[in-house]
Amino acid sequence: MKRVEIRLSLEAVLPLIAVIREAADSLSDDLAAPNSLGDIEPDLREGWREDLVSAQNEAITVLLALFDETFDESGVVGFDADNAEPVLRACAAVRLRLRERFLKALNEEVLESGDLEIESLQEPARKAFMCYLFLATIQELIIQHLDTSILDG
């Protein structure tokens, strides 16, 4: 099974993990994407929403499990066919939540390109934007190295 491991700077990443956890926790009963379920049949709607929230929570659990006590010591995270898809989806969910909570003032061009002087932001937006970029980097790594595993899975 193909596995990708990356060693991260604990000094740089540990302060971000708390922000990611907080954003992830805030999603426990909310959907990250602003989907209107109004066009779904009413008798289907609540079950639909519950299933989406449940899938979202499962994926977020997999993402947060990457940053356990072992990571706190080694700084290493690993991706493989088992966790690539949920981590990818969880990164999307947390990025959407970070945008909603901390980065609404940024225009869409900046959010798409990530091209911004971090120093121009005040906290908590500064750290949130760093998390936003960090999670995008994880997504890019997974897509670059494990897309076949996801498509075949």
Q: Interface with another protein by CB under 8 A: which residues?
A: 31-36, 39-40, 44, 48, 51-52, 55-56, 88-89, 92-93, 95-96, 99, 108-109, 111-112, 136, 139-140, 143, 147, 150-151
Least Å from the CB of residue 26 to another protein: 15
Q: Measure the CA–CA gap between 122 and 113, rounded to whole angstroms.
A: 19
Residue 75 zone, left/alpha/beta (φ > 0; ψ -120 to 50; rest):
left
- Comparing CA positions, the residue from 139, 151, 132, 115 lying closest to residue 6 is 139
- Comparing CA positions, the residue from 41, 6, 9, 18 lying closest to residue 94 is 18
Is there a contact between 87 and 135 (Cβ–Cβ < 8 Å)? no
Least Å from the CB of residue 65 to another protein: 19
Least Å from the CB of residue 75 to another protein: 24
- Which is nearer to another protein, 19 or 88 (by Cβ)? 88
- Which is nearer to another protein, 13 or 111 (by Cβ)? 111
Is there a contact between 116 and 110 (Cβ–Cβ < 8 Å)? yes
Is there a contact between 13 and 134 (Cβ–Cβ < 8 Å)? yes
Least Å from the CB of residue 66 to another protein: 18
- Which is nearer to another protein, 97 or 127 (by Cβ)? 97
Residue whose entry in the numeric block shows the structure tokens 């356990």: 68
Least Å from the CB of residue 140 to another protein: 7
- Which is nearer to another protein, 16 or 88 (by Cβ)? 88
- Which is nearer to another protein, 17 or 90 (by Cβ)? 90
